[in-house]
Amino acid sequence: PDTGNSQRLARSQQHRDFISKVVTATATNKAQSGPEKWPKKARRTKKKRGGAGRAPLPKVAEETVEDGEPNVTVSRPPQVTPLERPQRRDMATSTTEEIEEVDRKQTEAVNSGEFPPEYLIKHPLQNSWTLWYYEPDRNKPWEESQREITSFDTAEDFWSLYNHIKTASELRQGCDYSMFKQGIRPMWEDDQNKCGGRWLINLEKKQRSTDLDNFWLEILLCMIGEAFNEYSDDVCGAVVNIRPKGDKLGVWTSNANSEDSVMEIGRKLKERLRITPKMSMGYQAHKDTMVKAGSQTKNTYTL
């Protein structure tokens, strides 16, 4: 048996599991109202005339109780109320304003030196990813209207990017966001895409204000967090299309003929997005989309 290959596969799976935990933990930390600040060093009080210069001790509460003898005064320490921790929220349900506020507080904490050193360590992702933006321009070919924005390869850099761009629901009609592994272009003709297809989710127009941003963010977290386990390598990227009649979300894979991979990726998406029975997901091969006769492309698989 090829023990070397088995060990490499095991290490790769361990790395995927680690990255998935990091992305999930980062999302949870971002969803909180802000990091707990470390206490500053106590300052000495200035000396006053006639005083020893020491800070006064906290007052001790006194009360009179019946303790076998009348009027016995018992000293009790002051009651300390524990700090109330904010309720954790799923990152996908946080608004852009809340996320930006958390980001601002964290930046202030870093600048003031209140973050412990371990907070400044970045966590590398399994793959590098590139954000693309498409805006229609009648004076340019479609390919030239695709703009490569930036790439990232750590969980922290992803959040830094996500927190400082418009959400999908804020894009103009006809515009797209695409997030693909670095080196893969968001087009059918790319070598990594031409034999593949996409899981397509069609949203109603009214869902733009309720589901679109949550679904898009969850898809991004699934991809960069390697949530598809051994089939994560088959994921090329994802696209969100903003259209007048209804928006679309697509997750692209590299091989439309690999049924096990395609179906497992689809099931994981449906689970993470909590797709209701009223909504359906269809998988379409790119070759069928390119030669479609009408406005609809037949689905190879359906969930």
Report how far residue 252's alpha carbon sits from residue 238's, in angstroms, rounded to the nearest whole number: 6
Neighbours of 198 (CB within 10 A): 26
Task: Quickly tell me which residue has 């109202």 as its tokens.
Answer: 33
For domain 125-302, give the fold: RNA Cap, Translation Initiation Factor Eif4e (3.30.760)
Is-above-0.85 flag for pTM? no
Q: Going residue by residue through the chain, which has 303 residues, state the pLDDT in tens, using 9 for 90 and above.
A: 455 555 555 556 666 666 666 666 656 555 554 444 444 444 444 444 444 444 454 444 444 444 444 444 444 444 433 333 334 334 444 455 665 676 777 677 667 666 566 667 889 999 999 999 999 999 999 889 999 999 999 999 999 999 999 999 999 999 999 999 999 999 999 999 999 999 999 999 999 999 999 999 999 999 999 999 999 999 999 999 999 999 999 999 999 999 999 999 999 999 999 998 888 899 999 999 888 655 678 899 999
Pairing between β-strand 197-202 and β-strand 282-285 as defined by DSSP bridges: antiparallel
Distance CA 165, CA 132 (A): 12
Q: E strand or H helix at 284, and its extent?
A: strand 282-285
The CB-side HSE value for 288 (13 A sphere, CA atoms) comes to: 16
**C-alpha–C-alpha distance, residues 228 and 230, integer Å:** 6
